[in-house]
Structure 1
Amino acid sequence: MTSQEWALDGHAGRLAARTWPAAGTATHLVLLAHGYGEHVGRYEHVAAALTAAGAVVVGVDHVGHGRSDGERVLVPDVERVVDDLHAVDLRARAEHPGLPVVLLGHSMGGLIAARYAQRYGDGLTALVLSGPLVGDWAAADALLTLPEMPDAPLDITTLSRDPQVGADYAADPLVWHGPFKRPTVQAIRWGLDAVAAGPSLGSLPLLWAHGEADTLVPVEGSRSGVQHLRGERYVERLYPGARHEIFNETNAEEVLADLTGFVADVLAGRLD
């Protein structure tokens, strides 16, 4: 599958973005927000499933991530990252006018997507949150009490039951392999509070998908945030045994089928 790489100005420098065209006639647009420490290049197989179902997929490396400018993994303000994503959204809509837009966010990208939906939800057709950092994330408070961030890489076994996923992650030069940075953890803490203080999503369809064995972003911690966000059109998919990266799990085909099925139901009005 051929994708087009492009760039735009973000709040703190140039942002690296990517567009995957629909396999046939485009019926909708999917905007992708990746997680902490990674980049959109890790979502090729997700884009493949979505484009086969009629989507144009557009993603961007957040500030300080992947090929975008900025100090590595330094995200001082989630709201500014939401601003960047909005600029990507506007560009994508201009190039593909009239298409309904679905926003997909994973992990920290789920936090960004949730705030995006609270701010710009009237322009979205649906929201998908995968292992989202919303609700209660005890790790943030625990890290902020420490005098220094632990200088330890992510435990790659927490990503997936498939050991190759962890091995690929560890070998990826565009993935951050160092410690958390305090301003980023503080920004996540503020972002969690902003989502909790913000509005519910009302009639915006929401899919919450999460691995039940996720230890990075535990499912019960996210539940309170999702319950605050959800409206009357809501679908929940919890996967027994699955860890944090459900799109890279041993049951990834099931997860991707649930994702494309949800989007198809929304577009067909079957969730109304």
Structure 2
Amino acid sequence: MRTDFEFDSFNEVKLEGHKWYSEDSQPRAIIVLSHGMAESILRYEAFAQFLVDNQFVVYGHSHRGHGQLAAAAGKLGYIGEDGWNKMVEDLKTVVDMAAKDFPGLPKVVYGHSMGSYVARAFLKKYEHEADAIVFSGTGFPSKMELIGAGTIAKIESVFNLKDEPSKRLDKLSFGKFNAQIKDPRTPFDWLSTVEEEVDKYIENPLCGQIHPTSFFVNFIDGLYHLLYKNKPVFNEPQIPVLVLSGSNDPCGECETGVMKTGEYYKNLGFDTEILLYPKGRHEMLNEANRGEVYEDVIAWINRKIEI
């Protein structure tokens, strides 16, 4: 069963959220989902229902600049001033909401792609607010790559283009990803090897939009500070971390960035595990072997937290 809710984000915008749960059984733990760029949280409904069927309660929201409310306001891709940090705080709001509704239950945060970086920033700031965390479709862009992209974004902003969709920055990111796919059928083949799933993404009016320059300025600056500024020192960095990816995911540099992410958290003292799926692309929850991925996530949670 799903119930829908809305909440205010910094008295600027309303965000849509959803809770998936069973009326017939008590949940064993809370899962909070954090989705990727240029999509909405409702793309995770099948996964959320699978989790509910395995006695979890699931929360998720569409990030600012994403989802039906943003689309209705003509604001897809627009996250506002200091939008990156506000996205992190919005995730904290939903985690707190879930914890209030189900006090005492373990909390697992599952972040995908852009949402994985939001989850990583959440962990950096709120190390005790989750009992386990999953980073899916994540990576570790180089310092020079972020500086270069950030410079382009700031130059575009100077020329009064901050609120215009940035085809240049979109091409530098998504275009670069799809260029790594041999004989691509569509501009989004890098997402999945399953043609039907790629087509569903393309046909979804809440997916695939080109974001404005202001988004990229916020996002790139957020990534730079997350990965290369103020290296965190965790007091008790023992919560389990799962890094999950396809071996052919361009976002994770086809394993390189995925492994670097895993090593990064392992070196910080986290109980870190890496799951790489051969020939899988960016969205392992929408790959041909999604059933295996679903089961692996459940098995990992069952091993790592007391439920």
TM over 0.5: yes
Aligned-residue CA RMSD (Å): 2.3
1:170 to 164, 179, 202: 202
Residues 143 and 224 in structure 2, CA contact (< 8 A), matched pair in contact too: no
**How many Å separate the matches in 2 of 1:222 and 1:195?**
16
Q: Which residue of 2 aligns with 1:240?
A: 278
For residues 141 and 10 of structure 1, what CA distance do their matches in structure 2 show? 29
Q: Does 1:96 align with 2:95?
A: no
Say which one has the larger Rg. Answer: 2
Gaps of 5+ in 1: none
Q: How does 1:248-263 map to 2 (within 5 A)?
A: 248-263=286-301
Distance 1:32 1:91 in 2: 13
Please say if 1:183 is aligned against 2:214.
yes
Count of equivalent residues: 267
Matched, 1:72 2:76: yes
Letter paired with 2:134:
V
Structure 2: distance between partners of 1:68 and 1:258: 33
Deviations 1:173-218 (A, max 9, x none): 222x332322222222222222223426620100000111112342
Following the alignment from structure 2 to structure 1, what is the Cα–Cα distance between the partners of residues 131 and 46? 23
Q: 1:79/1:211 Cα in 2 relative to 1: closer, same or farther (>3 Å)?
A: same
* Offset, 1:240: 1.0
Residue 8 of structure 1 corresponds to 7
Of all paired residues, the percent bearing the same amino acid is 25
With 217-226 and 145-154 compared, the bigger mean Cα shift is at: 145-154
**Aligned counterpart, 2:241:** 206
CA contact (8 A) 2:243 2:258 kept: no
Judge conservation of contact 1:140–1:188 (CA < 8 Å) in 2: no
**Partners of 1:111 and 1:192 within 8 A in 2:** yes
- 1:4-83 aligned at under 5 Å gives the runs 4-11=3-10, 12-22=12-22, 24-69=25-70, 71-75=75-79, 76-83=82-89
| CA pair 137-244 structure 1, distance change in 2 beyond 3 A | farther
Output one character per residue of 1:229-255: Cα deviation in whole Å (capped at 9) or x when no partner. 333411110111001001101111111
- Contact map agreement 1:32 1:105 (CA 8 A) in 2: yes
Deviations 1:127-164 (A, max 9, x none): 00001254538765554455663267852211100000
Give the match's secondary structure for 2:128. Answer: helix
Deviates more, 1:44-53 or 1:111-120: 44-53
Give the 4+ runs in structure 1 shifted more than 4 A. Answer: 137-148, 151-154
Contact 1:135 1:222 in 2 (8 A): no
* 1:112-131 → structure 2 map (5 Å cutoff): 112-131=118-137
Secondary structure of the corresponding residue to residue 122 of structure 1: coil
Rounded Cα–Cα distance in structure 2 between residues aligned with 1:228 and 1:179 = 31
Whole-Å separation in 1 of the counterparts to 2:265 and 2:141? 10
Instruction: Mark the CA change 1:246 to 1:200 in structure 2 (over 3 Å): closer, same or farther.
Output: farther
Select 1:224's aligned residue among 236, 254, 260.
260
Secondary structure of the structure 2 residue equivalent to 1:87: helix
How many Å separate the matches in 1 of 2:277 and 2:84? 28
Q: Deviations over 1:24-45 (max 9, x none)?
A: 2211000110000101100011
8 Å CA contact retained: 2:247, 2:276: yes
Q: CA shift at 1:223, angstroms?
A: 3.4
Q: Match of 1:215? A: 250
Residues 51-85 of structure 1, C-alpha deviations (whole Å, 9 max, x = no match): 12211000000001012447211235321111111
SS in 2 for 1:123: coil
Change in Cα spacing, 1:214 to 1:36, as seen in structure 2 (3 Å) is: same
CA contact (8 A) 2:30 2:106 kept: yes
Structure 2: how far apart are the matches of 1:232 and 1:173? Answer: 39
Question: What SS does the corresponding residue of 2:6 show, helix, strand or coil?
Answer: strand
Comparing 10-19 with 209-218, greater Cα deviation is found at: 209-218
